[in-house]
Amino acid sequence: MTKISLVSKYICALLLALAILQVTSHALLLCFGELTTEGLSQLSIDFYLFSSHISHQFPHGWLDISQALMSENFNALAILGTAELIPYLLIYYFLFKLFSYYQRGQIFTVANIACLRNIGKTLLLWILLNAFYPVLVSLIIRFTGLSNKLAIYLNIGSSEIVYLISGLVIYVMAWVMTLAIELKQEQELVV
């Protein structure tokens, strides 16, 4: 059990570091980054002996709308990139909670199953975000009169299939764990 607690502690620290890094790089790109016509937002930082390059590329399905937004003088990273960041942060949060439970020695509990179920739901909802968020952005911009030329983009591609399969597998794993806990409780009542 101490090995699980120790590994879980390191994974929690890694998840926290990754979340902070992702939010920080997004904020730096928003404030100081340059948007290119290829849908890439980039920033180079040079200190005396230190050089770093931060970049963000929109998923293939969002590339067309990001280019259309930039041609209409909208900040595609602020509009699309911020929405794309939300599912990542939710998954980091649920994974952090899950490994926090493991760190405390709570392995097969209802709270763990809830974390897994929420990760599965987030991946499944990510499909809706990827497919329909560009449509929503286009409609809002058109209906508010900010642009009459912006086309309506609907995106369904291979990344949505990956999210679907991953989300369903994780969701089913949570369901199987729920059944296992119920079965164990029934067996304890019989003895």
What does the pLDDT look like over 5-41, one tens digit per residue? 999 999 999 999 999 999 999 998 888 888 776 667 7
Contact (CB, 8 A) for 22 and 116: no
Structural tokens at position 95 = 């994974």
Number of independent structural domains in the chain: 1
Can you name the residues that pair with 55 across neighbouring β-strands? 42
pTM of the model: 0.86
**Residue numbers of the domain that contains 137:** 2-190
Over residues 49-101, the pLDDT tens digits come to: 777 778 888 777 788 888 888 888 898 889 998 999 999 999 999 999 999 99
Q: What share of the chain is helix, strand, coil (3-state, %, to 5)?
A: 70, 10, 20
